[in-house]
């Protein structure tokens, strides 16, 4: 996939969940590296609850966290 081609020659060994329902955003508390796909509405709501998480918007090609929203 696209994500794995971005980190080539490294290999991602952790979970990638493409689009998750909002109730699974609690996985952001997991102690392992994880890539979760969300809608932009979910990102904005979730970012306020997880101040230590950095989000990447594919549509806007930018990084953001709770302070930037």
Q: 58 vs 7, 32, 50, CA distance in Å?
A: 16, 22, 19
DSSP state of 26: G
Q: Does the structure show a pLDDT above 70 at 4?
A: no
Q: 63 vs 11, 13, 57, CA distance in Å?
A: 22, 22, 6
**pLDDT of amino acid 17:** 77
- Pairing label, strands 35-36, 16-17: parallel
- State the average pLDDT over residues 30-49: 76
DSSP state of 31: S
**pLDDT of amino acid 66:** 67
Question: Which pTM was predicted?
Answer: 0.58
């Amino acid at each position: 996939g696209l994500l794995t081609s971005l980190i080539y020659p490294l290999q991602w060994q952790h979970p990638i969940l493409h689009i998750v329902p909002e109730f699974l955003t609690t996985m952001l508390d997991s102690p392992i590296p994880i890539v979760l796909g969300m809608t932009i509405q979910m990102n904005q709501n979730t970012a306020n609850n997880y101040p230590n998480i950095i989000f990447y918007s594919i549509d806007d090609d930018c990084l953001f966290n709770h302070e930037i929203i």
